[in-house]
């Protein structure tokens, strides 16, 4: 677990600090979602609480590693979790969860001198939960270390951030991201792998989540739309055919993100006129991404809009090449 790909600098900073005489008691693990911050926190916590000569249970079962994350959304989702099936979480970590954690901190660690508390993710804390956590950060129990995973650190109170040592996680380079996909064991064809690398944008979690939707062919069609345009509507027809059937919200979100990343990558090789059209189309895709979880869009109409936006970019680039 300590060999997580692409985070050598984070490991070096963490181990140098923890190996010092007075290691800081609170750490903010900051970076975009999907970089492996939670896995890093668990591996780091396992190293932190280990005692020489004392057998250690797996990190997920360690009595001195406390993990707080949003609970199942309801009883049905809790049953799915207990059965090892995919399950939906509540949106936030509650104040009751934090207070239960604080009650456990009154006792001494079980197997050694140290205890680790992981928040995954700290920017999902309820307002009351943040205030409760602040009390523990201000007066930490001896031997207790807090690891706050944060996808959007700016959402945390400045008083919380100021009490934490920041450990930054950066996007993986292309080679490391490819290695992470290969080591994941998740099966995917060549088209899906190529699309996942592009859409993931340096995030293994985002790449693997996208790959699970098997949208490699769709991504290729989107690239052609943004490159060639679609005067005969053939590519848009192929896109609709490839996505025939009911689209749940997760799949819709993956499709929208794929279109957004096609535009982001198209911008790299665009001239001034094409760049203006790409930026305009990107803004519309971002708006669509924000609206999709709220409004019950008709999938066919949504695909028509995405296809039209990508095709508009292709037409502009084609006209620029002719000129």
Average pLDDT, the chain: 92
pLDDT given for residue 1 in this prediction:
38
pLDDT tens column, 209-237:
999 999 999 999 999 999 999 999 999 99
CA dihedral 31, 33, 36, 41 (to 10 degrees): 70
Q: Which tokens sit at 166? A: 């920041």
Is residue 115 scored above 90 in pLDDT? yes
- Burial (0-12, 13-18, 19+ Cβ within 10 Å), 204: buried
CATH 3.40.50.300 applies to domain 8-168 = yes
Please answer whether residues 94 and 131 qualify as being in contact, where contact means their C-beta atoms are separated by less than 8 angstroms: no
Is residue 245 scored above 60 in pLDDT? yes
pLDDT given for residue 46 in this prediction:
97
What mean pLDDT do residues 114-126 have? 95
Q: 3-class DSSP state for residue 204?
A: helix
Q: 3-class DSSP state for residue 28?
A: strand
**Rounded CA separation 79/88 (Å):** 11
Residue 290 CA to its chain's centroid (Å): 17
Among 158-162, 179-183, 267-271, name the one with the lowest average pLDDT.
267-271
Query: The pTM is what?
Result: 0.86
CA dihedral 204, 254, 167, 86 (to 10 degrees): -80
Q: How far is CA 235 from CA 4, 213, 238, in A?
A: 40, 20, 5
Is residue 108 scored above 70 in pLDDT? yes
**Rounded CA separation 215/88 (Å):** 23
Asked, as a colleague might, if the bond just before 68 is cis with ω within 30 of 0, I would say no
Higher pLDDT, 315 or 268: 268
Sorted by sequence, the CB contacts under 8 Å of residue 314 that are 6+ apart come out as 224, 225, 226, 227, 228, 229, 230
Angle at 153 between CA 152 and CA 159, to 5 degrees: 150
Angle at 149 between CA 264 and CA 176, to 5 degrees: 50
Q: 3-class DSSP state for residue 120?
A: coil
pLDDT given for residue 84 in this prediction:
87
**Rounded CA separation 167/148 (Å):** 10
Every domain of the chain and the residues it spans: 8-168, 215-322
pLDDT tens column, 18-55:
999 899 999 999 999 999 999 999 999 999 999 999 99
Sorted by sequence, the CB contacts under 8 Å of residue 252 that are 6+ apart come out as 292, 297, 299, 302
Please answer whether residues 239 and 209 qualify as being in contact, where contact means their C-beta atoms are separated by less than 8 angstroms: no
The DSSP symbol for 86 reads -
Q: How confident is the model at residue 2 (pLDDT cuts 50, 70, 90)?
A: very low
């Amino acid at each position: 677990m300590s060999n997580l790909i692409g985070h050598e600098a984070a490991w070096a900073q963490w181990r140098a600090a923890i190996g010092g005489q007075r290691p800081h008691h609170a750490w903010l693990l900051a970076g975009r979602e999907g970089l492996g911050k939670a896995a890093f926190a668990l591996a780091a916590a396992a190293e932190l609480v280990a005692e020489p000569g004392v057998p250690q249970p797996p990190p997920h079962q360690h009595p001195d590693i406390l993990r707080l994350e949003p609970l199942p959304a309801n009883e049905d989702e809790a049953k799915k979790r207990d059965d090892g099936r995919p399950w939906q979480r509540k949106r936030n970590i509650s104040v009751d969860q934090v207070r239960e954690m604080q009650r456990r901190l009154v006792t001494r660690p079980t197997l050694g001198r140290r205890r680790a508390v992981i928040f995954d993710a700290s920017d999902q804390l309820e307002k009351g939960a943040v205030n409760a956590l602040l009390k523990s950060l201000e007066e930490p129990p001896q031997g207790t270390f807090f690891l706050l995973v944060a996808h959007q650190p700016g959402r945390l109170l400045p008083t919380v951030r100021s009490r934490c040592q920041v450990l930054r996680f950066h996007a993986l380079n292309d080679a490391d991201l490819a290695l992470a996909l290969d080591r994941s064991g998740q099966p995917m064809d060549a088209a899906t792998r190529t699309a996942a690398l592009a859409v993931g944008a340096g995030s293994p979690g985002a790449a693997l989540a996208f790959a699970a939707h098997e949208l490699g062919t769709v991504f290729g069609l989107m690239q052609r739309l943004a490159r060639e345009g679609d005067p005969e509507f053939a590519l848009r027809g192929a896109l609709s055919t490839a996505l025939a059937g009911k689209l749940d919200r997760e799949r819709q979100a993956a499709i929208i993100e794929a279109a957004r990343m096609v535009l982001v990558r198209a911008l790299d090789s665009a001239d001034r006129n094409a760049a203006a059209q790409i930026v305009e189309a990107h803004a519309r895709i971002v708006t669509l991404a924000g609206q999709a979880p709220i409004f019950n869009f008709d999938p066919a109409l949504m695909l028509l809009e995405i296809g039209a936006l990508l095709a508009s970019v292709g037409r502009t680039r084609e006209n620029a090449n002719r000129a």
